[in-house]
Amino acid sequence: MSSKSGNVYGLTLLCPIIDDPGAIPSHDLQIRAHLAKLSLGPDSPFAVAPGTHLARLVVLDDVIYVGAPSCEEHLNSKYLVFESNCDGDRDSYLTGLARKIPDALDAIWSHCVGYPDDGARNIPAFLQYMKRCEIETTFFFAPVNDKTRTQTLVALRNKAYIAHFIASHQGKPPAEIQRNIGALYARLKSLPDPEPAAIQVSRKMATGGRNE
């Protein structure tokens, strides 16, 4: 397996979180507090930065003992897990992040062991740090195909327009369909590329069932 699937790169980082009994609140709680407030919309740093299909940040405290017959094990450190499915190759993606959202990166990773003192603005040191934390990605986010983020967003937008067109034109005379599909095609071609994370489907699904 490899961290590459066609043109999409799967970046997985395990970054040890600073263990400092003197830090109150602890660094892992500080990361949690910061992540809890991160936007999921178009102003999310990973929507602003180029090329991210999906980014996920997880604070991994420890592995949990679930009872026999498994054996009890523990991690040596708490980790920040970063997973991203992104366009292109790793170095140019990380460089893009560092150029576009350095403050957002520093706010998260400054709680991690070995992160450069001068943060993401020191691009060579930042790249070296992130690469040191990388582990191989073997599974990708299921819907990721071999298209770029922009191609995917355009395709999703077009699909929504076309589905609406079909639903409103079923049973209409062929001449009318032909005329309107030409207009739809011209319209789609004229639209600007959609912004990442701009389409927010509200799905009010409560938790508490056996579905999480």
Partner 1 sequence: MSKLNASDIQGFSLRGYNLPFARFLFLHFTNAEKGRLLLTRLLPLITTGQLWDKKPDATLNIAFTHRGLVALELPLATLISFPPEFQLGMKARGTILGDVGLNAPDHWDKVWREDHVHVWLAINAQSPEALTTCFTQMQTLLEETGGATLLDFQDAGAIPIDGQFTTKEHFGYTDGFGNPDYLGVCRDTQPGQGKLMPGGTWAPLATGELLLGYADEAGELPVAPVPHLFASNGTFMVYRKLHENVGTFREFLNESGKRYGTGDDKTKEKLAAKIVGRWRDGTPVELSPDAPDAAIVNDPNRNVDFMFGQDLAGTRCPVGAHIRRTNPRDAFGFDGRLVHRRRISRRGLPYGPVAPPEDQPVDPRELDQADRGIVFMALNASLSRQFEFVQQQWISYGNDAHLGNEKDLLIGHHGEGERFGIQGDTTAANPPFFCSNLPNFVELRGGDYFFIPSITALGMLAMNLVDPR
Q: Does 170 bind partner 1 (CB under 8 A)?
A: yes
**Total residues contacting partner 1 (rule CB under 8 A)?**
16
Among 33, 64, 75, 166, binds partner 1 (CB under 8 A): 166
Which among 7-15, 27-35, 40-48, 160-168 is the span making contact with partner 1, rule CB under 8 A? 160-168
> Could you give the 3-state DSSP secondary structure of residue 115?
coil
Q: How far is the CB of 170 from partner 1 (least distance, A)?
A: 5
- DSSP letter for each residue of 5-47: ETTEEEEEEEEEBP--TT-SS-HHHHHHHHHHH---STTSHHH
What's the token pair of residue 168? 């409103």
Q: How far is the CB of 73 from partner 1 (least distance, A)?
A: 24
| C-alpha to C-alpha distance for 14 and 82, rounded to whole angstroms | 7
Nearer CB in complex with partner 1: 33/163: 163
| C-alpha to C-alpha distance for 86 and 8, rounded to whole angstroms | 6
What's the token pair of residue 113? 């062991």
Among 2, 21, 203, 212, binds partner 1 (CB under 8 A): 203
Contact indicator for 83, 3 with CB cutoff of 8 Å:
no
What's the token pair of residue 153? 């967003």
What's the token pair of residue 177? 């369909």
Q: How far is the CB of 173 from partner 1 (least distance, A)?
A: 13
Among 2, 76, 168, 190, binds partner 1 (CB under 8 A): 168
Among 1, 24, 186, 201, binds partner 1 (CB under 8 A): 201
User: Residue 76 carries which DSSP code?
Assistant: S
Q: Does 208 bind partner 1 (CB under 8 A)?
A: yes
Q: Does 37 bind partner 1 (CB under 8 A)?
A: no
What's the token pair of residue 199? 């389409």
Cα–Cα distances (Å) from 111 to 18, 104, 120, 138, 199, in that order, read 6, 12, 13, 27, 32
Using CB under 8 A as the binding rule, the residues of this chain from 55 to 94 that contact partner 1 are: none
Q: How far is the CB of 211 from partner 1 (least distance, A)?
A: 6
Among 2, 178, 205, 212, binds partner 1 (CB under 8 A): 205
| C-alpha to C-alpha distance for 18 and 21, rounded to whole angstroms | 9
Q: Does 155 bind partner 1 (CB under 8 A)?
A: no
Nearer CB in complex with partner 1: 189/210: 210
Q: Note the residues at the interface with partner 1 (CB under 8 A).
A: 163, 166-168, 170-171, 201, 203-211
